[in-house]
Structure 1
Amino acid sequence: MEEAAYSVITKAGSYELRSYDPHLRAEVVMDGPYRKSLYGGFRVLADYIFGNNTASTGISMTAPVVSEESEKIAMTAPVLHQEQEEKERHVISFIMPAEYTLETLPKPNNASVTVREIGAQKMAALRFGGYATKGRAERRIERLLKALADDGITVAGEAQVAQFNPPWTPPWMRRNEILIPME
């Protein structure tokens, strides 16, 4: 399975510093808890690559599936409830095969799917196994942020959770990564 192209700049303890090539991402914004957003977003994006696009053609699946927390949205306070709550929002993305450009990639028929070009970027990456639950991902994000701060590396964006395996892959065979943009 094709993966996002990168080169390792250096290995530093438990993490790597990487340089990623420019690529395209198909993404959808999902409201709700992490797991629900991940599965819902995966289904919408899978529908797009399986042929719900202007060319009615399949697009090869690549890895990883990337999720990141988007801005939180204030919810309207219900009657009899004084505090406003914030609702979770996540961006779920598929990396598009390198053979495509914005001009040649079939356009999604579903308006909730957007395609955007991601420029070359430097990322810190921390690999971990098992299921990438919200709690496990948050602990790895904290660990990577602390290591980067300890090493004097400046963070330039929000953490992303990258999952490389199909859902039926046993936990002991799973590959996940926390990716954090750097300056």
Structure 2
Amino acid sequence: MDTFLYYALTLVESVLGVFGIRALYEQPRYAVVERLDRGVEVRAYDARLAVETNAQGQGDGEAFGRLFRYIAGANRDGSRIAMTAPVEVGRRRIAMTVPVERGAVDTMRFYLPRTVAAEGAPEPTEAGVRLVHIPAERMAALRFSGGATPEARTEQGRILGEVLATSCKATGPVVFLGYDPPFAIPILRRNEVAVRLPPD
């Protein structure tokens, strides 16, 4: 895809995103396996591939820029890769090697299109950007619209935790899944908070 067409398509996707139209964005495949109270869904996701970088939370424009540059050609092949939804922002546990201890880091992820994953995604060329293979997994998710402020995410995460306290055990921290650009009309936005669950 040539540069002009790539950026024109990206612009069209962004404009449509203002109105909550995300039909052009590929999304990870999942099946809803259980519906819990207050709109919480337990989902079984297929394995997928993401590109990831460290972030300073949801509104980290530098992290978003690094990931966008990767899909716009800052990769070993110079390939332009279609944007997908959602963008995942959350905390990931890491193992430190010296000394041996566990820590956590905030990350931002773009999921890559299935065709790109199947063909072999090109390696990033920018420091701090990495490919991450995510195995098939179960997640519990709660969808909400409106602004995705830190307060809104915290409140929705609290609701998700209350629902899961009686039925499931989460295996990690709450992550935010954003399906729309930040300038989308709030009532039309699709936001989610989610937690990973242990395998069946």
Q: 1:17 aligns with which of 18, 37, 42?
A: 42
Instruction: Say whether 1:171 aligns with 2:186.
Output: yes
Deviation per CA, 1:114-143, whole angstroms, max 9, x where unpaired?
101000000001000012111111111111
* Matched letter for residue 56 of structure 1: G
After superposition, the CA RMSD in angstroms is 1.9
1:133-148 paired onto structure 2 within 5 Å = 133-148=149-164
Q: Which moved more, 1:95-104 or 1:128-137?
A: 95-104
C-alpha separation in 2, matches of 1:27 and 1:136: 24
Provide the aligned length of Structure 1 versus Structure 2. Answer: 164
8 Å CA contact retained: 2:58, 2:89: no
* Matched letter for residue 58 of structure 1: R
Q: Give the aligned partner of residue 46 of structure 1.
A: 68
8 Å CA contact retained: 1:129, 1:171: yes
8 Å CA contact retained: 1:25, 1:115: yes
Q: Give the aligned partner of residue 3 of structure 1.
A: 27
* Matched letter for residue 165 of structure 2: A
Q: 2:136 aligns with which of 77, 95, 120?
A: 120
Q: Give the aligned partner of residue 77 of structure 2.
A: 55
User: What stretches of structure 1 of length at least 5 have no aligned partner?
Assistant: 73-87
- SS for the counterpart of 2:117 is coil
Deviation per CA, 1:59-97, whole angstroms, max 9, x where unpaired?
01000000003469xxxxxxxxxxxxxxx9520000011
User: What stretches of structure 2 of length at least 5 have no aligned partner?
Assistant: 1-24, 95-103
C-alpha separation in 1, matches of 2:147 and 2:76: 34
Instruction: Say whether 1:91 aligns with 2:107.
Output: yes
Deviation per CA, 1:141-182, whole angstroms, max 9, x where unpaired?
1110111002x2111112110000122211111001111111
* Matched letter for residue 108 of structure 1: P
Q: Which moved more, 1:121-130 or 1:167-176?
A: 167-176
Instruction: Say whether 1:158 aligns with 2:182.
Output: no
8 Å CA contact retained: 2:85, 2:179: yes
Q: 1:28 aligns with which of 38, 41, 53?
A: 53
8 Å CA contact retained: 1:102, 1:117: no
- SS for the counterpart of 2:159 is helix
C-alpha separation in 2, matches of 1:155 and 1:69: 14
C-alpha separation in 2, matches of 1:68 and 1:51: 25
Structure holding more helix per residue: 2
If the length of structure 2 is used for normalisation, what is the TM-score? 0.76
Aligned identity (percent) is 30
